Every structure is written in structure tokens, then in C-alpha cells.
Structure 1
Amino acid sequence: MSFQKDFLWGAAAASYQVEGAYQEDGKGLNIWDVYTREPGHVAFNENGDVACDHYHRFKEDVALMKQIGLKAYRLSISWTRVIPNGTGEVNPAGIAFYNALIDELLAAGIEPLVTIFHWDYPYALHCRGGWLNPASSDWFEAYTRVLVDSFSDRVRYWMTINEPQVFITDGYKNGNFAPFMKHPDGDLIRMTHNVLLAHGKAVRTIRAHAKRTPIVGFAPTGPCVVPASNAPEDIERARAASFDFNRNNYTSSNAWWGDPIVLGHYSPRAYELFGDLMPKENPEEMALISQKLDFYGANIYWSMQGGELGTTLTGCPKSNLAWPLTPDVMYWSIRFLHERYQLPLMITENGMAGHDWVALDGKVHDPDRIDYLTRYLRSCKRAVEEGLPLIGYMHWSIMDNFEWARGYDQRFGLIHVDYGTQKRTLKDSAYWYASVIAENGENL
């Protein structure tokens, strides 16, 4: 068994990281627009005001996607480009931009996969309490309805929320991402519940109002633990560790988010740790949170807790971001997540930050990325060959872009971007990925 014929070979990006045009055509401010202006939050005090200027150059970018042969492109919508204040008046220019992008993708034979929220929370709603406000899930539901009404005649694939583990942990617990805050456990648990309700209400809205039969999932970061060996006891230890958490890492865990969304209840471990801080189990709310999904997305880069229970990370090869190279994590994550949640999987992000530049011959040579992707995709192929239901792979990212608090130093793209001139150059990895897609992964 190999990759299915309709396997979604794609790439991904997020609106704030690529679009630019941060105050054009009626767009409102999001928390990244505002807080990147406070010195010290982002490397070199950089921001996404211009980024890759995708807002103006999307036709060129889609043409490059077509040249690579992408079957799918995972994009996110900028909430404040569509609804400048987060609620209320809809911005026609924002709707027009995404309509044009979706139409361009479809004309190129590329399936648009829409992520509703990828971290660029409206500043106006942040000032009203953001995810701590009990109305936040209703705001999200209304926003989702605008997207469904505007785009669902052409968009089939929907992802509600990208990596709640990261934007809650780094944005509100550790203070590393916008809005760069540090909240206590009680606040973080309330935020969690409101994010989960927002997800559930969005799924309900998509299913009720989509003009085409939708295919719905969400995109958490999903690494599991790689077992120390193939011995049954090591596999069991790794499986258990992949869904366990403690008071320090709970908001980053798989089970903290995945269990209520798919299984319809919080992990018992949550009540052991936090007792009365946890929301009282409300059957109606939990049924809403656990609306039926069609797939489970997973953003996977390295093995969770690898040094403790699995592959040692001492001397492990690492990317430019110091993220370890642990390709077996793809197989084990697909396996463990499917065993627990019984849903098809999509790899919604995977890639490597590198030192990439245009060489004297005018090309961008990135053999380390090709080697990295070969290893990780072989691990995906192992899962597929064992009959695990993997429906797609989205490389992160389609082009170099603004990498959040690290600014522009980290280059993840298949396409090199010269930020001074906005010139695009396909990297060697883009041509390599094109051959993988053309062969449907047969020769990995």
C-alpha cells in the first residue's frame, strides 16, 4: 500500500506571516500588528507590516505553487481583514481579496484548505478580554459564519484553529508571543474552555451553512513520543507519555485539547491536577465542543519528550531553530493519534528552518532540507504502508516568511523571498518536492 491517488500534497502559510498590507483596504489591527511595535518582543524589532507582500503578489505566488505541482494550499484568513473590529461590519475588500485568491488557486488546480484562525486575534476584541470573555466563542462563531457564507461554494476543506497549544502557551502563559502576557492557571483554563467552545461552534456553523459538503478538522501541534525501541513495553510507555501532562506543560499537550474535541470530555488528568479550577462538566457544552470531525490535523516537527523516553537528543542534528531531527516522530504520531482518536490524519505542518540564500549561480541550494523531508516523508510512508489513514501532507511553508517572535531570520520556505526586493526564487527543495508530488511519493 502506498499513498492514495487523491493524496493531498501541499504546502501552508499563515495570513500574518505572508500577506503584509497591514492597514490597507480597510483591514483592522490584530494583536501582532499592535504588539510587534513594543520594543523587545520580536528579533530586531521586526514585524509583518509588509512580510512577503502576498496581498499584492498572490497571483505570482499561486503561479509558483502550480509550477511546483501542489495539489493543495493551506491558507489562513486574517480575521481583521474580513471584520476589522472582530465583530460587526464586514469589510468587502477583505472578502474580495480572499475570493480572488481562492479563485486563482482553483484555476491553477490547487485545492484551498482554509484555516479560520492562525493566531492574529483582533486587537479590538483583545481589549474586551479576548479569550477570557465568555462571549469570545460567539464572536468566533459569527466570524466563521461570514467565511462560510462567502467562500463555501468553492472551499471544501476547513480547519477551525491552528495550534491552540502554542498561542495559549506562548501568548498567555509564557509571554513569548503576542499579546506577550503571563496569566495564572485559572485564566488559562477559562481560555481553554472558550477556545474549545469556539471550535465547536465553528464546526456546527460550517456543517449547518456550507454550500458544499464540508471536510472539517482542526490543526493542533501533534508530536508524540518516539519509543526507545520496538519492545511492547517501550511502545506502551511512549503512547502513555504522548498524552500525559503536568502542571508545567498541560496547555501544550495533545490530550488537553484533543480529548475534549474528539472524545467529548476533558482528560481525567486535568481534574487530578486542577480540581475546582476546571469547568464543571456540562453535557451540552461538551457535546458542542466535540462536534464530528472528518480528520485530525497534526503539525509535527520533532519528538515530544524524546530525550526522556525515546530517541536521545544528545548530539542530535538540529535545524537553524535548534529543533531536533527526529523523523520517526511522523510514524509514531500518526499511529498514536489515530489509535486514540480514530480519525484520518493530515500532516498540516512539517518543515525545517535553514540558512538559505541565493548562490552565485542564481539558485538556492538547500540539500539539508531535501534530506530532512526525505526522512520525514519516508516515516509518513511507513504509516501509510501499515494501513494508517493519512490523507495529506502540508509542507511548512510555501515561502520564507515572518517567523513570529524570531522575525525574518528563520527560513522555512520552498520558495526563497528576498525581503528587500520581494523577488521569489524556487529552492532546490521546491524542484525536489515537485518530483515527489509527480510520483505520488513512490520513490521516497
Structure 2
Amino acid sequence: MNRRQFATRSLAAVAGAVLHQPFSHATTLLSGEQVPGSVPDSVIQKARFPEGFLWGVATASYQNEGAWNEDGKGESIWDRFTHTPGKVRGGVTGDVACDQYHLYPQDIALAKRLNQKSYRFSISWPRIQPTGTGAPNMKGLDHYSRFVDTLLAAGIRPWCTLYHWDLPQALEDRGGWPNRDLANYFADYAGILAKHLGDRITMWAPFNMPWAIAFMGYAAGSSPPCRSSFPDFLKAAHTLALAQAEAHRSIKAASSKATVGSAYEMAPAYPKTNSEADRAAAARYHAMNNVFFLEAAMKGKYPNAFIGEPPYEIMGFKPGDEKILYAPLDWVGLHYYTRRIVSDASHAHCFGGGFSGTEIESDSACARDPYTGLSAVMPTEGPLTEAGLEVWPRGIYDLVTQISKEYNHPFIEITESGCGYLDSPDEEHGRVPDSRRIQWYRETLAELARAIADGARVRAFHAWTLLDNFQWAEGYTERYGLIYTDFRNQKRTIKDSGYWYAKVAASNKLEV
């Protein structure tokens, strides 16, 4: 997941205002004009997590595996993108990344050493179906089968994301996600995975960050396939929602043990002011960026994300799609990194007949697009991580409690959460001191514990990420791992934050 682009080019995407109505949690969610301080030590010291809480880590295939053309794997859109000069910082690729395709036994042993009980990983679609359709590549399936068996032998729950952005290039050549046919192709792929791995994997999520897949790839054009068409974004979003539901049914049909949830990007967004217009804009942002796909699955319809009537014709919505979309999740998975400040821009006329291209606007007076009529900015009241994101621990409390209230207290899993700092090894002492990362986790987890104490049914937390890895368009210039990766020789060194997180996982408390 690309954190810097989330901060500056719209890779983050969410809001925490109320769905279907003006912002009504003003007593809980602070307006953008209020600034809470850092989490007091007394709160951190008292924080406790319930017995059986699952501590884990999250990873992604393209960011870790390497082996980009081995054992029959096909080309992905990220292979094509990174091999195009000028696309990635430093001119690097994910061809090798962390070489986890070959080194996974070592990495899983490290996860066990850190007392991890859940490991969220993704499967590379072109490793299973090189062109996105047809018979499976058995070498790819055998690799993931061995991977899952190694996790289970280590006492770690395998948690599978079917798609973490690496679409087979052959399917992009057929039109990509705006092509409705991809919903059925994806359902076939999901069925193959559940048939071969469903006897051991019980935790499945169809997509990582479906809103970002659609918007960053087809509207903003900052991620592959780098298209800039808002109608294509809307079509892609609808196909992804259909694919989410069809995959859900394919998985359940192939595996009686399967539970299906999500891995949605979310962050609370606060209205810039307490005006009715800004509250309504924050609500639209929440509906579009945060719960668009969740609402589709839970209720078979899209939330009220638009000014006026939803653009169903542009989306390619057909009669009966409501029934296809409806596939209630067994649990809700969400990411947390930071927040957004949202204001109304419904009367602005800055789109020039199109849309402004990014989620985070440099000119906050302009609307992001003519359909949602809002502007979002990256606040900086709190300190910034080295990846450019504001440190705002309170946000995870606001987000988790809101989702709990809106969806009748579902089971929740934090599918990603973490921070980017470029701490380097202390060669003399053989360690990687990263106290800022420890403090980020202490404060964020204290707020999560508070949400649990207030009734949220959160049962797992997955730190992003186990290893420093390939950070999308930022290449190797950002480090989110609990373990330092030396990309020159693939040496792994557990950071101080990794050892701290291991103690938290063993004790269910933050003062360790």
C-alpha cells in the first residue's frame, strides 16, 4: 500500500461522517477546528485487549514476493507499470522485492518469533491464471499451498486477500475493471482458490481497497493502468462490487469452512466546519470513499454518495444488479492510517466538464468531481510521519465506533495499520531503533482498546507490515516494516518495534 501517495496524490480515501444523513455524531467526532492532544500515558498504561485477541501482520503479493516471471506466472499491470521508465521512484521494480516467493519459510519463522497469530497475505492472480482466465497454473497453486501449510505449522492463522492490485495484464487489455465481464472472471478465480485452499483457509477477502483500485487506476490515473476517466471509475467501481459478491458466493460454494469479509480502506473524515453543507459533504465522502462497497454487500444497494440522482446509467447498472450485489459479509475488515478534513464544494465550477483528478486537492475551493461535490484536504495539526501522513490516534476510535453503530456491531478486524519511518540499523549494536514507530502503535492501539471497551467487537489487529517492502510508486524509499529489509542482500533485522509488538502480542497490553 502506497502511503505517500495516500497523503499527496489521493491514495487514501475515506471519511467518517454519517451515512445517508447529515453529520450527526458531533459529540463523538470532532470537527476539523478541534485538535485533541496525544494519548495520555495513563490511558496507554490502562489499555487491555481481550483474551483470544488475534495479533497479526499484513503483506501483499507484489510488494513482497518477487519471482515476477517464475513458475508460469503471467504479467500483471504492476509488472508492466514498473517496467515503464519514469513510473517508479528510483527506477526500481518489484521483480525481486523481498524475494518472499523463495524466502517465505524464513519470514514465517520470524512472524512466529514475534508471537503472531494471524498473517494476512494476498495471492497473485496472474500466478494462478497467467491471463486471468482458463485452467489454473498448478505451480502457482502449489506455492500458496506450501505457504499456507507453513503458516499452520507455525500456529498462525492464514488470512487470504484474493486481489491486492496485481491484475493480469491480459485482462486489462480486455478493458480492465470497467469491463463488466471481469466480475465473472474474478468469481471463477475465487472458486479455484477456495477449491484448492479452502480446506485450510477460513478467512477470505475478495479485494484490498476496492475504492483505490477503481479511483487511482481509472480516474486519477496515478496507479496502473493510469487512465483518467471518471465514467471509467464509476464503471470499474460497479464491476468491483459485482465481483465482490460473485466471489463471495464462489468461495462459499467451494468451501464449507469459509468466512468472507473485507479489507476496505477507511479513515475518519471530519467536516471542516459545523455547517450543514460541510457535514453533508463529509457524509457523501464517507459514503463514496469508505462504505460504498460495504453498503453494496450488506444491503444490495449503493449509499447516497452523490449530489442528485446516482449516475447508474454511466456505471452500467442493470435491472437485477441489486440481487447480485447483495452478499452480506461475515465480518468487516478495515484499514486505519489517518484522517481527512472535508468541505462542501457543490457550487464550485472547477471541473471543466470533467473532474479534478485527485482526492486530495491543492485548491480546496474546487470540487474533486461533479458527482460528489466535495473537497478533501490532508490535515497537518498533528505531527507527520516520514511518509507524509498526519499522526492522529483518535481517528481509529472514531472510525471503529462509527462502523460498529452503523452496521449493528459486526465483528471487525483491523486489516492494516502502521506508519512509515526511515530508521536504519545501528550496526554497532545490531539493532534498529525506531522509537517513533513504537509510540505511533502505542497511541493508536490505546485508542483501539478504548473502542473495544466501549463495545466495538474488534477481534484482530494486523500491523502493516511484517517486512520493509516495495512501496508501489515510491519504490524502496518508504519503510513500514516491523523488520528491516536490506534489499542488497535480503538480510532481515527485527526492529525495536518488532520486539515491542511481540511483547504486546504475548501480553495483550501496551506497557511492556
**TM-score when normalising by structure 2:** 0.80
Match of 1:174, SS state, is coil
1:304 equivalent among 328, 336, 340: 340
Deviation readout 1:198-256 (Å, 9 max, x if unpaired): 000011111122142x2211111011135899xxx89x9998665423xxx986x1133
Unaligned runs of 5+ in 1: none
The one-letter amino acid of 2:417's match is: N
Give the aligned partner of residue 129 of structure 1: 175
Identity fraction in percent: 35
Is the contact made by 2:334 and 2:416 (CA closer than 8 Å) also made in structure 1? yes
Post-superposition offset of 1:277: 3.9
Shift of 1:286: 1.8
**Structure 1 276/306 Cα, relative in aligned 2: closer, same or farther at 3 Å?**
closer
* Structure-2 residue corresponding to 1:152: 198
Q: CA deviation at 1:273?
A: 5.9
Q: Which residue of 1 aligns with 2:238?
A: 193
Residue aligning to 2:417: 350
Separation (CA, whole Å) in 2 of partners of 1:273 and 1:45: 44
Shift of 1:315: 4.6
Structure 1: how far apart are the matches of 2:269 and 2:151?
36
Higher mean alpha-carbon deviation, 300-309 vs 333-342, is at 300-309
Equivalent pair of 2:183/2:242 in contact (CA under 8 Å):
yes
2:441 alignment counterpart: 373
- Asked if 1:224 is matched to 2:290, the reply is no
Give the C-alpha shift of residue 263 in structure 1: 2.6
Matched with 2:495 is 427
How far apart are residue 274 of structure 1 and its match?
4.8
What is the rounded CA distance, in whole Å, between the counterparts of 2:213 and 2:463 in structure 1?
A: 20
User: Are the counterparts in 1 of residues 442 and 510 from structure 2 also a CA contact under 8 Å?
Assistant: no
Q: How does 1:200-239 map to 2 (within 5 A)?
A: 200-212=245-257, 214-225=258-269
Determine if contact 1:356/1:365 at 8 Å carries over to the other structure: yes
Q: Compared with structure 1, are the counterparts of its residues 2 and 240 closer, same or farther at alpha carbon in structure 2 (3 Å cutoff)?
A: farther
Q: Deviations over 1:29-52 (max 9, x none)?
A: 100011111111110111100000
Q: Who is 2:26 aligned against?
A: none
The aligned runs of 1:399-414 (5 Å cut-off) are: 399-414=467-482
Counterpart in the other structure of 1:260: 296
Structure 1, residues 396-427: CA drift from partner, whole Å, max 9, x if none?
A: 01100000000001000001000000000000
Structure 1 counterpart of 2:393, from 299, 323, 327: 327
Partner of 1:416: 484
Q: Structure 1 residues 310 and 137 mapped into 2: Cα distance closer, same or farther (>3 Å)?
A: closer
Q: 1:68 to 1:279 in 2, by over 3 A?
A: same
CA distance in 2, matches of 1:429, 1:317: 19
Q: How many matched pairs?
A: 434
Q: Kindly tell me: are residues 207 and 283 of structure 1, through their superposed partners in 2, closer, same or farther at Cα, counting changes over 3 Å?
A: farther
2:71 pairs, out of 7, 25, 29, with 25
In 2, are the aligned partners of 1:186 and 1:277 still within 8 Å (CA)? no
User: SS of the counterpart of 2:159?
Assistant: strand
How much does 1:141 deviate? 0.3
Matched, 1:244 2:284: yes
Structure 1 266/348 Cα, relative in aligned 2: closer, same or farther at 3 Å?
A: same
Range with greater deviation from structure 2 (434-443 or 374-383): 434-443
- Provide Cα deviations, 1:147-195, integer angstroms capped at 9, x if missing partner: 0011010001001101012122211111111122212x22211111110
Give distance in 1, aligned partners of 2:277 and 2:468: 37
Q: Contact 1:162–1:219 (CA<8 Å) still a contact in 2?
A: yes
User: How far does residue 282 in structure 1 lie from its aligned partner after superposition?
Assistant: 5.3
Please give the residue correspondences for 1:52-71 in structure 2 after superposition, counting only pairs within 5 Å.
52-71=98-117
Over residues 303-351 of structure 1, what are the superposed CA-to-partner deviations in whole Å (9 max), with x where a residue is unaligned?
1227999999345211111100001110000011122223222110000
Q: In the alignment, is residue 286 of structure 1 matched against residue 322 of structure 2?
A: yes
Equivalent-residue separation in structure 1 for 2:188 and 2:342 (angstroms): 41
Matches within 5 A, 1:270-281: 270=306, 272=308, 274-275=310-311, 277-279=313-315
* Separation (CA, whole Å) in 2 of partners of 1:129 and 1:51: 28
Which stretch shows the higher mean deviation, 302-311 or 312-321?
302-311
1:120-151 Cα distance to aligned partner (Å, 9 max, x none): 00001110111122211010000001100110
| Aligned counterparts of 2:464 and 2:95: Cα–Cα separation in 1 | 21
- The 2-side partners of 1:201 and 1:311 are apart by 35
TM-aligned CA distance change 1:280 to 1:45, over 3 Å: closer
What aligned pairs does 1:64-213 form with structure 2 within 5 A after superposition? Answer: 64-183=110-229, 185-212=230-257
CA–CA separation in structure 2 for the residues paired with 1:12 and 1:82: 21
Quote the offset at 1:443 in angstroms: 4.1
Structure number with the higher helix fraction is 1
| Matches of 2:316 and 2:179, distance apart in 1 | 17
SS in 2 for 1:364: coil
Judge conservation of contact 2:190–2:247 (CA < 8 Å) in 1.
yes
Partner of 2:426: 359
Q: Do the aligned residues in 2 keep the contact of 1:149 with 1:209 (CA within 8 Å)? A: yes
Structure 1 CA distance, aligned partners of 2:179 and 2:316?
A: 17
Secondary structure in 2 aligned to 1:131? coil
C-alpha distance 104-275 of structure 1, shift in aligned 2 (>3 A): closer
Structure 1 residue aligned with 2:365: none
Secondary structure of 1:270's aligned partner: coil
2: CA distance, partners of 1:369 / 1:215: 32
Q: Which amino acid aligns with 1:209?
A: A
Contact 1:204 1:291 in 2 (8 A): yes
SS at match of 1:421: coil
Q: Which segment drifts farther, 219-228 or 380-389?
A: 219-228
* TM-score (normalizing by structure 1): 0.91
Q: Contact between 2:287 and 2:303, CA under 8 Å: does it hold in 1?
A: no
1:394 is the counterpart of 2:462: yes
**More off after superposition, 22-31 vs 254-263:** 254-263
